[in-house]
Structure 1
Amino acid sequence: MQGASTNKGGRPHKTGSEAKSLLIIETASRLFAQQGYAATSVEQVVAACGMGKDTVYRRYPSKLALFEGVVEHAREQTQAHFQTTMAAQKGDALTQLRAAARWLLTVNLDPTLIAFKRIAFSEAIVVGQSVNKRPDDPIMDRLFALIRGAQEAGEIAQGDIGVLAMHLLNSIAVGPMIDAMLGQTTYASTRAQDAYFEKAWALFLGGARGGIAPPGKPA
């Protein structure tokens, strides 16, 4: 591995420092995903990325700090991918909401993110408070805006936007995500995801009652 380029004062350029930080995070992400939190040590990350121990510890003074960096990097990558996906979407708010919902199913089945979710659950006492969501969540903000737009267009019923957003997440992503966290491969293929999504999306839009009339009332 080549050393970082230096300026006239002998200090590494920022790009070299950023490249090292990225290599550390990507290496740690792979090891945490493959081995879990308890079985991964900072020393393993040091050895795997081929850097000096001091180089890693200056950036991440503990395993928890390193895992926090891994989670933050994953969050940033996920948000960037969502923005790119949605930037390519055309059509009205409901069409874009459908695209966002399909993306949510895909991202919640990502193997690396599934591994991090397992860590968050199994190591909750150690890492739970440290990896909580930030107050700002651009993905949920966009989801709220799309739901509001679909309501204003009369495409979906009026109601609490936060409740509707959580209903959407539960309808589309939570079941398959839990399935994957338990080691199942039910939704591993795009075809299986598409088939599930069509049914889940229809239920979200129509509600579980669908066209069935309440007792005592005509359909």
Structure 2
Amino acid sequence: MERRTGRPFKADGEAKSVRIIETASRLFAEQGYAATSVEQVVAACGVGKDTVYRRFPSKLALFEGVVDHARKKTQARFQATVAAQTGDVMSRLRAAARWLLSTNLDPTLIAFQRIALSEALVVGQAVANNPHDPIMDRIVALIAEAQAAGALGAGDVRFLAGQMLNCIAVGPTVDAMLGRSTYATTRAQNAYFEKAWALFLDGARARP
């Protein structure tokens, strides 16, 4: 009888972990943290209870896994978006800013932020900002490059990055978290973005 190597077992284990995470992501987003149980996740994903608990020994550990998975996917999409831009630095910075708006309005991420607020004492650490944020680091680098090219005025690059994020994404994100659909369509997002981007540039653009 032919012996199986370790690779198929590893691939099967990774597939099960992804199935658990994706199922839990959907249930947490649809129902919230308090209303979702590990038993519901087990039933919905078709993986044995022992298998789930070996990977995630508690509901909090499962939610932390969900948030970490979402964070990694978001970072990968951001890097792909920036890498696809071939224009000058301001074109790349603009694309990154537009991506920030649409990503911060993603329904699943909005749901996770609602959970973070409503269950802050329970899940606060799961969604706490990481000391190292590759997305913000890349935006900081783009702003520094734009300053070096004379397209943006001098100033603290991290402060400018934070102000860009506030200008572009914070208002619509709060609006969505309150259950409104003001920016649910691409057309509405585009209209808002053009105004917000112009406002950011008016404050940050190099002066003659």
Q: TM-score range by the shorter chain?
A: over 0.9
TM-score (norm 2): 0.94
What is the aligned partner in structure 2 of residue 202 from structure 1? 198
What is the aligned partner in structure 1 of residue 100 from structure 2? 104
**Structure 2 unaligned regions, length at least 5:** none
Q: Does the aligned pair in 1 maintain the 2:67–2:126 contact within 8 Å? A: no
Q: 1:43 aligns with which of 15, 39, 43?
A: 39
Number of residue pairs matched by the alignment: 204
More helix by share: 2
Q: Offset at 1:133?
A: 2.1
**Change beyond 3 A, Cα 1:10–1:160:** closer
CA–CA distance in 1 between the matches of 2:126 and 2:19?
Answer: 22
Per-residue CA deviations over 1:106-165 (Å, capped at 9, x if unaligned) read 000000000001001111100112321222211111100000011111111100111101
Q: Does the aligned pair in 2 maintain the 1:7–1:13 contact within 8 Å? A: no
State which structure, 1 or 2, has the greater radius of gyration over its C-alpha atoms. 1
**Change beyond 3 A, Cα 1:135–1:154:** same
CA–CA distance in 1 between the matches of 2:12 and 2:155?
Answer: 50
1:155 aligns with 2:151: yes
Q: Which has the higher contact order (CA 8 A, sep 6+)?
A: 2
**Structure 1 unaligned regions, length at least 5:** 1-5, 209-219
**Change beyond 3 A, Cα 1:120–1:11:** same
What is the aligned partner in structure 2 of residue 68 from structure 1? 64
1:171 aligns with 2:167: yes
Per-residue CA deviations over 1:70-109 (Å, capped at 9, x if unaligned) read 0000001001111111111011211111110000000000
What is the aligned partner in structure 1 of residue 120 from structure 2? 124
Q: Offset at 1:8?
A: 3.4
TM-score (norm 1): 0.89
Percent identity for Structure 1 against Structure 2: 72
Q: 1:113 aligns with which of 109, 125, 128?
A: 109
Q: 1:34 aligns with which of 23, 30, 33?
A: 30
